[in-house]
Chains A and B, each alone.
Chain A
């Protein structure tokens, strides 16, 4: 019986659609801006939205990874923002808005590099940080 119930649950789970295209309004909280400074650890320049990850060390040396979701690659390409704008090892400050689930995920709206340059990585659908 347990096996049957488990199988049914798995089938149900498999049938539920997963989110791919992010929806700022449903996934992020515009009242919770966040500004994170750290080292880029991974960049996924993929449809439907780019993701990039920033490692931040706390005072005790523990590393937390923040995941930022940005605009679709095509959107950024048309804005003149190339794939290599972000590379692993870059020290960046990312301004965005936290996920509604309270995790270390956020909408990555603006990236500022160590030399002061900045680039908006947000979609048109997203709230843009100042």
Chain B
């Protein structure tokens, strides 16, 4: 009579124990399987942390020229696109098209990570994008015949305590929000391969290393070294790009913008 409830209680207790984070001498949160646990809401590389108290200053983070590998002969025009007075070239996000993986990673908005033993889910506040990334064997192949997409095909694995996110299948799109004074933009090709490596440096901070390999443009892979910070008091908020539309193709006229003033 009491066996089933007792068995259920034992199972429940076992499950509760299994889900409890294991103790870590450095205070790094760990999942039941002993892996570092990235679950939480994070201020990504798009924030700088200065002052006391921390100002969490949002800042558009760009890929730095100094870190880039040499550009292949004749590839400069693939990377740098001069101001074209065309929003689809100068900044497609102005018409709510996606910003793409390499702009999303350092976007100055919150991101929520949900880690399970089998997959990692990343919810980005900016533009409401998400990634569902399966864990598996290191350096395993991606699915064949990928149709290029804005966020690509990401797979994950562990190298000791380092989380590795490996992405291919990216559509040729903007590399970052780079705009020199003339309004030009910077793009990558559909051959780009992005590897993100994340490692806790203490209980709430992680080193965030991004390796860009775009053989259509660069002579070799190159690395950007950033960081992110877990913000236990943050939640992701609503960002709706498509709301409050105005300005056809980004060409605002006085009437477009002033229309709201008269309502």
Interface residues in chain A, defined as those with a beta carbon under 8 Å from any beta carbon in chain B = 13, 16-27, 30-31, 41-42, 44, 46-49, 51, 53, 65, 67, 69, 72-75, 77-79, 99, 101, 103-105, 124-125
Q: Which residue of B lies closest to A21 (CB)?
A: B241
Residues of A within 8 A of B241 (CB): 20-21, 47-48
Residues of B within 8 A of A53 (CB): 260-261
Q: Are B108 and A47 in contact (CB under 8 A)?
A: no
Q: How far is the CA of A124 from the CA of B61 in the complex (A)?
A: 9
Q: Are A22 and B234 in contact (CB under 8 A)?
A: no
Task: Tell me if B74 is interfacial: C-beta within 8 Å of chain A.
Answer: no
Number of A-B pairs whose CB atoms are under 8 Å? 141
Task: Tell me if B187 is interfacial: C-beta within 8 Å of chain A.
Answer: no
Q: Are B243 and A20 in contact (CB under 8 A)?
A: yes
Among A51, A78, A101, residue most surrounded by chain B Cβ atoms (within 10 Å): A78
Residues of A within 8 A of B109 (CB): 74-75
Q: How far is the CA of A78 from the CA of B236 in the complex (A)?
A: 10
Interface string of B159-191 (1 = CB under 8 A from A): 000000000000000000101010101000000
Q: Are A19 and B249 in contact (CB under 8 A)?
A: yes
Per a CB cutoff under 8 Å, which of B46, B177, B249 touches A17? B249
Per a CB cutoff under 8 Å, which of A42, A44, A74 touches B244? A44
Residues of A within 8 A of B246 (CB): 18-20
Q: Are A26 and B248 in contact (CB under 8 A)?
A: no
A25-B90, A25-B91 as given contacts; A16 in contact with B261, CB under 8 Å: no
Residues of B within 8 A of A16 (CB): 248-249
Q: Size of chain B's interface in residues, with CB distance under 8 A?
A: 47
A47-B240, A124-B60 as given contacts; A21 in contact with B93, CB under 8 Å: yes
A26-B183, A30-B181, A103-B253 as given contacts; A47 in contact with B238, CB under 8 Å: yes
Main secondary structure, interface of B, reads: loop
A-B contact list, 22 entries, CB within 8 Å: A17-B95, A18-B245, A18-B248, A19-B95, A19-B252, A20-B96, A20-B243, A23-B87, A23-B91, A25-B183, A26-B94, A30-B181, A44-B244, A48-B241, A48-B244, A65-B261, A73-B238, A74-B109, A101-B252, A104-B254, A124-B59, A125-B177
Task: Tell me if B147 is interfacial: C-beta within 8 Å of chain A.
Answer: no
A25-B179, A41-B261, A78-B110 as given contacts; A20 in contact with B245, CB under 8 Å: yes
Per a CB cutoff under 8 Å, which of A13, A26, A47, A101 touches B239? A47
Among A31, A47, A51, residue most surrounded by chain B Cβ atoms (within 10 Å): A47
Q: How far is the CA of A125 from the CA of B99 in the complex (A)?
A: 13
Q: Are A44 and B58 in contact (CB under 8 A)?
A: no
Main secondary structure, interface of A, reads: mixed
Q: Are B90 and A23 in contact (CB under 8 A)?
A: yes
Residues of B within 8 A of A24 (CB): 179
A17-B249, A22-B94, A27-B94 as given contacts; A124 in contact with B254, CB under 8 Å: no
Residues of B within 8 A of A78 (CB): 56, 58, 110, 234, 237
Chain B, 217-255, CB within 8 A of any chain A CB: 234, 237-254
Q: Are A27 and B250 in contact (CB under 8 A)?
A: yes
Task: Tell me if B50 is interfacial: C-beta within 8 Å of chain A.
Answer: no
Q: How far is the CA of A107 from the CA of B247 in the complex (A)?
A: 15
Task: Tell me if B257 is interfacial: C-beta within 8 Å of chain A.
Answer: yes
Task: Tell me if B37 is interfacial: C-beta within 8 Å of chain A.
Answer: no
Q: How far is the CA of A51 from the CA of B243 in the complex (A)?
A: 13
Q: Which residue of B lies closest to A68 (CB)?
A: B257
Q: Are B258 and A105 in contact (CB under 8 A)?
A: yes
